[in-house]
Structure 1
Amino acid sequence: MAKNKNTNTLNLREKDPYLTREQQKYDHPLPSREWIIELLEQAGVPQKIPTLAEKLSITDEEFEFFERRLKAMARDGQILINRKNLVCVAEKLDIVKCRVEMHKDGFAFAVPLKTTGDKDFVLYERQLRGVMNGDIVTVRPAGLDKRGRREAQVLDIVERGQKSIVGRFYLERGVAVLEPEDKRLHQNVILEPDSVAQLQPKSGQVIVAEIESYPENHRPAVAKITEILGDYADSGMEIEIAVRKHKLPHEFSTGCLKAADKIPDKVRATDRKNRVDLRDLPLVTIDGETSRDFDDAVYAEKIGRNYRLVVAIADVSHYVQPHDLIDIDSRERATSVYFPRRVIPMLPEKLSNGICSLNPDVERLCMVCDMTITYAGNVKSYEFYPAVMKSHGRLTYNQVWQWIENKTENQFSGCLNVLYKLFQILQQKRFKRGAMEFETIETQMIFDDNGKIERIEEVHRNDAHKLIEECMLAANVCAADFLLKHQHNALYRNHSGPTPEKLATLREQLALLGLRLGGGDDPQPKHYGELAAQITDRPDREIIQSMLLRSMQQAVYEPENEGHFGLAYEHYTHFTSPIRRYPDLLVHRAIKAILAKKTYDESSWQELGAHCSFCERRADEASRDVENWLKTYFMRDKVGDVFGGKISRITNFGVFVTLDDVHIDGMIHVSELGEDYFQYREDLMAMIGERSGVRFDVGDRVQVKVARADLETSRIDLLLISEVKKSKKSRKSTQFDDRLPEGKLTKKSSKKIQIATSVLDEAARLLAESDAKSMRKAKRKKADKTSETTPKARKKTEKPKKSVKIKPKSESRQPAKSNQSDSPRKRARAAKQRSKN
């Protein structure tokens, strides 16, 4: 009997449909994850680990490794191992694995690690005891909250997102505490006395502490100091804080650096094998003046009525192999992070600025997208192939645009003129396609030798920037098409349009501004583009652009192609920047595998896409933090100075003003707007005084004084010192204020109506008094008449000793002077309305 049982279990293990794959990966393969989940589902009830191991014929030597596999599956959210040590299928329990993203106001969002299209879960304070920002948790859906958002219950903390914390050191009643720089960490951290005594930080200094024990219920976290970064205002401190606050990997591992050192500085003869030789093709790089890593080069020529466009991209995949030491570090970073004066690269400098960078006049390996584009802007054909090239020039955007604009003749003129003509064709095609294009103001900080901001300059995008952008877009679309045609796994760059809820909100906001978005319930990119063209000359253009962008969903990396709404592409991926973006490196590997008639696969494309999307958002937040801090530090010397500016945003707590020349935003608090109570009218998107009727609109010009520049919050406070100078849009909207509802009145028309109203009220009062006297008089006459004519009354009047109370008839039966519709109040109200009209 036992023998038969053993034979059956052996057969059960051998029935694993993924056994061949596991045998290719491991010398002694364990049952696959998919097969374990299938057996658990077949069992119908949770299983004990030993029972499951027995069913799958796990030997004593294998049991430890089998347990590790189960725990890894639990970390990935595929199964749940409960406190009774029972293994449960996560989907059966409706369990979702999420990353916690705290909000500074005390609640949080649980973002599913697997992008299934479902919305994030909201977690309120009662669910967040012991949970910290960045933690990986398992949650169970728990219905909807009052606002219709999905709530969830936290079941377990799978992985901690915070290993160390950066913040300020303080002593509170003799207790050493760390106040986190990250405001999403709501509680101070208690510091171990030994580490404080050893390093002896000064009050207010910035320190880094490693967490020893995590918060639980009402007990705070405990940590020990590992590093003192210095004083808060030290040069470069803002970047050191941002790096640690956002958990940016900023130091390469020893193994990664050693592996990079072994990579040759030059292209070897063996590297050129099986590659197309493009060294004589006059490819050039066009980048910014301060760029150091060049990952794309371009060339164009006219062929009959068509054009040939060659986009050569640095072949990082030749030097960084899957799962090697360099790949492990670059995957963790997923993107380069750009700060003013400093870059945290995805790859070691030996690669990013060295052998992978398409520097001029040196041989470099590249992956090429060679396209034939028609005179109408359509890609007629394309080809991908590995090549070796030599950049013939390191050009800059401003330099190229100056040459094209002035028609300057030089060695690059032929190629650049063809590129510019092709750009015009592609741009025209872009407009017809309906792609969105918003012109935003970008700034650049100029530093002196001491690292202090000298000035902030506006950066103007010229056609040379757009030229390179169109070339890269064309190559990215071809890469996505190539992957789809060969049905190979990779990461696509997806951008979805508006959700029904966001679309409804957008339409309401636009209607208040006299604007309309076409497309009905299913607007297309062209409808957004048409609206963007309408608002070009409006003073509130920037806030309307923000509305349009907020109505759409965030672009993400996903293994299934969903198209790019903003660019109006049916398929799109990232291929052109493998030096600074990990998804591009993955796309290169996939394309190379197709060319070699092989397959490149990852264990979980879905999780890899979610990781790359998260790292991209993290980098943006860190860069924004540093820029805001630097701008605030720059304005410390400007306290008391007067600036002109334009209202860029209005909230219920104040008005934000973009200052002229420095392009920095400051805020006038609602209590500082004037001698009145100001209310934010969301329906009008304006701030309006209750009594004065003074109105602030986006786009209005104001004059302000800098009151404070607070480094702690990176906030600049302003004081209003001038009258509002209305924008053209605002002046137009107030020409008919006498007919507008309450809240839209100008100061002058409001005063007129107040005077008219007081006069009418006084007239109504006098009329009411007069009518009341007349009615009392009429009642007395009627009573006298009744007493004289009624027999019963006459009889009673003959007995003077008894007092008689005469009860008047009901008012409804009296012949009143005026009916209900002509009552004094009605007449006064009608007169008041006629005056308004």
Structure 2
Amino acid sequence: MFASPLCTESLVGIVNKENSMGSDPHAAREADKYDNPIPSREFILEQLEEAQKPLRQFQVAQLLDVSEDDEERFEALSRRLKAMVRDGQLIRNRRGAFGLLKKMDLIKGRVLGHPDGYGFLVPDSDGKDLFLSEKEMHKVLHGDRVIASVVGEDRRGRQEGVIIEISEHCTQQVLGRLNFEDGLAWVRPNNNRITQDVFIPQDGLMGAKEEQIVLVEIIHQPSARSGPIGKIIEVVGDYMAPGMEIDSAIHAFGIPNSWSDELQTELDQIGDEVTEADMEGRKDLRSMQLVTIDGADTKDFDDAVFAKRRKNGWRLVVAIADVSHYVKPGTELDKEAYNRGNSVYFPQRVVPMLPSKLSDGLCSLNPKVDRLCMVADLYISEDGKLEKSQFYQAVMNSKARLTYNQVFDILTNKDSQYRKEFKQQVPHLEELYSLYKVLQKAREERGALEFDTTETRIVFDAERKIEEIVPVVRNDAHKIIEECMLMANVATARYLKWHKMPMLYRVHEKPMEERLKNLRTFLADFSLTLEGGDEPTAHDYAAVAEKIEGQPYEHLVQTVLLRSMNQAVYQPENKGHFGLNYEHYAHFTSPIRRYPDLLIHRAIRHAWTKDGAETFTYNDSQMVEFGQHCSDTERRADEATRDAVTFLKCEYLSHHIGGEYEAVVSAATNFGLFVELQPLFVEGLVHITELGEDYFHYDNARHCLKGERTGKVYRLGDRIKVQVAQVNLDDRKVDLRFIESLSDSSEEFAGEESVAEQQAEKPKKKRNYRKKKRSRSKTDK
């Protein structure tokens, strides 16, 4: 019996399909997703690897046994190959052949723009950033995803690249100020990482007026020959209007700032009070003297604490808002919380991660009301070591909402009015203080880094104009809460590691070799050394901090020490926390304002079920994605708040043209000195022509400017007096006039004593660097 030609052709097609899919390890997955499946991306990459050369589409089809006669599957393969090029898995060369990036020495990554016009390609994989010239940056905008090739090194020894292909234009909207000239309109983006102006055709103005802040949609992306073109889709407001700097930062950095209708509907289904059903199965801690201790202007209370002395140590109870009870995986609330990643704190304004009903209400541990909480119940030894811990869900009722200043006054002033107002809490606060001293001593022995950095707070008047900029003073009450939160975070990381749960650690890796080299070069200018070789410890860093304590350049050196270290990130691979000197560390204490903490709470709750990590909602590969996203949103928040605060400080200085300030030299260049104004902590430029009637030359080895005739030297850490000459609000730049030097080191270079020699002649006061005041980013608490 013979099959007809038609039947024979059908059989051949079936056989070819089975051949193309049979050796594909992901064939079953593809078959579940598509009625007429094609080989998976993984299998295509594997086959191209074995082919050892780029292949055109028909060659790839032949390799995979996808017949051109099978139009549907051939077209599906074409779409898949294009998608793989778009996602940076493949590259298509000029001959139209598809090849592997790694075989072509190409690098895929994200573009990071610089305010001076050039940029960098940050690779998706490990490796150094690739320098992109101003010419290359003309093709793209900050944030775009590209594929680039290394073409050599620039004059500073950095690897330089050229953009081969733009895989994704990620900037679709920009916020900026509208300008007109000779009938032409353009918008200068507020984000200073985007240095290209956006041209606006006359039919895209939407009635906007000059100098207004507008939101622009990009309708034509930039290319090698032309800049971006856009149309105005929203007039945000007038330039310099109160609060506009925050609106600008929110738009410029893409911070989500609205709630969807679907989320509002979901939120309406949640009650306003804790119910009996919510409390079922929870431990009742409502009689415990738990209190919250926060800043005076705080509205969302994540944590409450209680401590009690016991026979061989201490019991510390850290109760954290149980956000995971209300925000379930896959809900609109969860999706939006993930999208935001964290709350963003601007001066006098917060963009919350969760709606106010939860962040300020139902989840916030407000005083005198029942609230659901997750509890870390910790037992601490006499020497401040964590002995054991247990985690459970509970219901609590905060006995008091205390501020840092109130608690500090209670603990240090026996006649404090607050001792009467909060008399029931005083004994428990004193217990907390005693525990803090034990934890502080353990911290010293552990060798965690402590820097006496200074933060500033902007004080506004009734019209929201800056009245003054004041330093934020930290006291022991801040440190009590800080140490309690650190202990809870360490216990959390240990608990979930023991349960082998997929989780996000808060990782702070050791400094990189290149940064250490630059740091040691910098420290040499102050006759300082960093011990420890290629792997210095936190103790080695702290030893440097001890030597500079009380010196005029202390803040500057501390800043450089901090910059030499890696940025802390979220990731599932535990590599410890260098700065805190912890082997295991995670974020548990702020689920209202940080998505990683919410994930940690879900992991703890799952660990109670004893079902094992296999049945958890998330796996390790998802945690990699979560970690990258949350690290990115954290950096986005930092950049946005920094931009808004810098604008506000510059705007403040614009009303003080002619004002005189003391300043510290923070950088020397061949065109002048960058200095930091005290006590505003705003950076400005003293141009080289301001330094006097002399030819000044830049000494790269010593990071200083030296006068050819006078021999005068200006170097890092020197104190000078300056006058505000000009402020450019658009570029956030301050130009300064030099008045006089306030440092002896700016005098004659010849015969100059080293910093160490000068200090040796001064009477020495014994100090213990571990007992210094310190300040640490709230993201690591």
Equivalent residue letter for 1:669: H
Cα pair 1:170 1:178 within 8 Å, conserved:
yes
For 1:155-554, what aligned pairs fall within 5 Å after superposition? 155-196=164-205, 199-407=206-414, 409=419, 410-554=423-567
SS in structure 2 of the partner of residue 223 of structure 1: strand
**Equivalent-residue separation in structure 2 for 1:105 and 1:714 (angstroms):** 13
For 1:572-651, what aligned pairs fall within 5 Å after superposition? 572-596=585-609, 597=611, 598-601=615-618, 604-647=622-665, 649-651=667-669
Cα pair 2:367 2:400 within 8 Å, conserved:
yes
**Equivalent-residue separation in structure 1 for 2:101 and 2:565 (angstroms):** 31
| Structure 1, 592-601 or 660-669: larger mean CA deviation | 660-669
Cα pair 1:647 1:656 within 8 Å, conserved:
yes
Cα pair 1:539 1:698 within 8 Å, conserved:
no
Change (3 A) 1:578 1:65: farther
**Equivalent-residue separation in structure 2 for 1:473 and 1:75 (angstroms):** 43
Partner of 2:741: 724
Partner of 1:6: 14
**Equivalent-residue separation in structure 2 for 1:181 and 1:14 (angstroms):** 54
Change (3 A) 1:705 1:37: closer
User: Shift in Å at residue 397 of structure 1?
Assistant: 0.8
**Equivalent-residue separation in structure 2 for 1:595 and 1:377 (angstroms):** 27
User: Shift in Å at residue 212 of structure 1?
Assistant: 0.8
**Equivalent-residue separation in structure 2 for 1:391 and 1:76 (angstroms):** 50
User: Shift in Å at residue 127 of structure 1?
Assistant: 3.6
Equivalent residue letter for 1:192: P
Higher relative contact order (CA 8 A, sep 6+): 2
Is 2:672 the counterpart of 1:654? yes
TM-score w.r.t. the length of structure 1 is: 0.80
Equivalent residue letter for 2:175: V
**Equivalent-residue separation in structure 2 for 1:104 and 1:667 (angstroms):** 15
**Equivalent-residue separation in structure 1 for 2:607 and 2:120 (angstroms):** 39
**Equivalent-residue separation in structure 1 for 2:301 and 2:63 (angstroms):** 54
SS in structure 2 of the partner of residue 632 of structure 1: helix
| Structure 1, 585-594 or 375-384: larger mean CA deviation | 585-594
Structure 2 regions of 5+ residues with no counterpart?
1-7, 754-781
Is 2:114 the counterpart of 1:103? yes
SS in structure 2 of the partner of residue 119 of structure 1: coil
Q: Residue 693 of structure 1: which of 711, 717, 720 is its match?
A: 711
Equivalent residue letter for 2:190: E
| Structure 1, 320-329 or 71-80: larger mean CA deviation | 71-80
| Structure 1, 445-454 or 597-606: larger mean CA deviation | 597-606
Cα pair 1:647 1:699 within 8 Å, conserved:
yes
Partner of 1:797: none
Cα pair 2:667 2:703 within 8 Å, conserved:
no
TM-align CA RMSD: 3.4
Equivalent residue letter for 1:138: I
Equivalent residue letter for 2:641: S
User: Shift in Å at residue 181 of structure 1?
Assistant: 2.3
Equivalent residue letter for 1:511: A
Equivalent residue letter for 1:322: P
Change (3 A) 1:14 1:270: farther
**Alignment deviations for residues 410-468 of structure 1 (CA, whole Å, 9 cap, x no partner):** 21122212221221121112122111111111111111111111122211111111111
User: Shift in Å at residue 153 of structure 1?
Assistant: 4.2
User: Shift in Å at residue 37 of structure 1?
Assistant: 4.6
**Equivalent-residue separation in structure 2 for 1:324 and 1:299 (angstroms):** 33
Equivalent residue letter for 2:701: D
SS in structure 1 of the partner of residue 146 of structure 2: strand
User: Shift in Å at residue 508 of structure 1?
Assistant: 2.2
Equivalent residue letter for 2:122: V
SS in structure 2 of the partner of residue 176 of structure 1: strand
User: Shift in Å at residue 375 of structure 1?
Assistant: 1.0
TM-score w.r.t. the length of structure 2 is: 0.85
Is 2:150 the counterpart of 1:132? no
**Alignment deviations for residues 220-269 of structure 1 (CA, whole Å, 9 cap, x no partner):** 22111112223322111111221122222222223223322322222223
Cα pair 1:76 1:97 within 8 Å, conserved:
no
Equivalent residue letter for 1:101: L
| Structure 1, 249-258 or 99-108: larger mean CA deviation | 249-258
Change (3 A) 1:297 1:91: farther
Cα pair 1:654 1:668 within 8 Å, conserved:
yes
Report the count of equivalent residues: 732
| Structure 1, 23-32 or 466-475: larger mean CA deviation | 23-32
User: Shift in Å at residue 142 of structure 1?
Assistant: 5.0
**Equivalent-residue separation in structure 2 for 1:14 and 1:138 (angstroms):** 33
Cα pair 1:647 1:697 within 8 Å, conserved:
yes
User: Shift in Å at residue 399 of structure 1?
Assistant: 0.8
Is 2:577 the counterpart of 1:564? yes
Change (3 A) 1:138 1:388: farther
User: Shift in Å at residue 599 of structure 1?
Assistant: 1.7
Structure 1 regions of 5+ residues with no counterpart?
742-837
Change (3 A) 1:694 1:149: closer
SS in structure 1 of the partner of residue 293 of structure 2: strand
**Equivalent-residue separation in structure 2 for 1:392 and 1:532 (angstroms):** 40
Q: Residue 751 of structure 2: which of 739, 760, 772 is its match?
A: 739
Cα pair 1:543 1:649 within 8 Å, conserved:
no
Cα pair 2:553 2:664 within 8 Å, conserved:
no
Cα pair 1:542 1:648 within 8 Å, conserved:
no
Partner of 1:112: 123
User: Shift in Å at residue 709 of structure 1?
Assistant: 2.9
- Structure with bigger gyration radius: 1
Partner of 2:730: 712
Equivalent residue letter for 2:595: Y
SS in structure 1 of the partner of residue 723 of structure 2: strand
User: Shift in Å at residue 81 of structure 1?
Assistant: 6.7
Equivalent residue letter for 1:600: T
User: Shift in Å at residue 74 of structure 1?
Assistant: 5.1
User: Shift in Å at residue 592 of structure 1?
Assistant: 2.3
Cα pair 1:77 1:96 within 8 Å, conserved:
no
SS in structure 1 of the partner of residue 394 of structure 2: strand
**Equivalent-residue separation in structure 1 for 2:679 and 2:152 (angstroms):** 50
SS in structure 1 of the partner of residue 359 of structure 2: helix
Change (3 A) 1:382 1:223: same
User: Shift in Å at residue 706 of structure 1?
Assistant: 2.7
SS in structure 2 of the partner of residue 532 of structure 1: helix
